[in-house]
Structure 1
Amino acid sequence: MPYHSTPLDLAFHALSDPTRRAVVSRLAEGEVSVSILAEPFDMALPSFVQHLKVLEDCGLIASEKRGRSRWCRLVQARFDEAADWMASERLRWTQRLDRLETYLDNTQDEVGGD
């Protein structure tokens, strides 16, 4: 199946952590330096940077050095891939539920129910 790729698995793993989801939410507002990004989190900077590494390794964010600061931004492509996978799954399950509803309606008609 095309959607069961390692990058997508890594992206969902990265998003399973609340700290990393909070980072993604903050970066949705625009790019920001690591030091500003780390401010609201009660952890040592090296620990916080590990979270950023997980997000960057799976392709959800990108970072670049500018002078003495490192800046982070979201990478839309990985989010699009995850959204496409979820839309595909939603369609598949909607179709299955529609078929089940049709089957149950037909079964009820055959039995003579209301």
Structure 2
Amino acid sequence: MAYKTSDVVFDGSVIEFSDTVKNLGVVFDSGLSFREHTIKTLSKGYATLKYLYSFKNFISSPIKWKITCSLIMSLFNYCSPLYFTLSTKAMQSRVQKLQNS
């Protein structure tokens, strides 16, 4: 079997190229724009916020703040220095909008 020089071979098998790869919860894309990672994080954040909204009348403000910090803000605190600074201004404003929510 002849391999191209750009092929990655492991144990006799060619590993195919992928546009995105997930490592330790961070989705890396081929251009290191972190667009896919940011979109997934925003989706998780809004889904959690929507779920928590149904309990807004049943819990006190200090408890709401703790729950929000632990479930939503933690999504952005993990590896944010890596992907946030490399994201586009549009993506950064979308993240800021969720954090403000």
TM over 0.5: no
Q: Given the two structures, how large is their TM-score scaled by the length of structure 2?
A: 0.29
Is the helix fraction higher in 1 or 2? 1
Q: Which has the larger radius of gyration?
A: 1
Q: Given the two structures, how large is their TM-score scaled by the length of structure 1?
A: 0.27
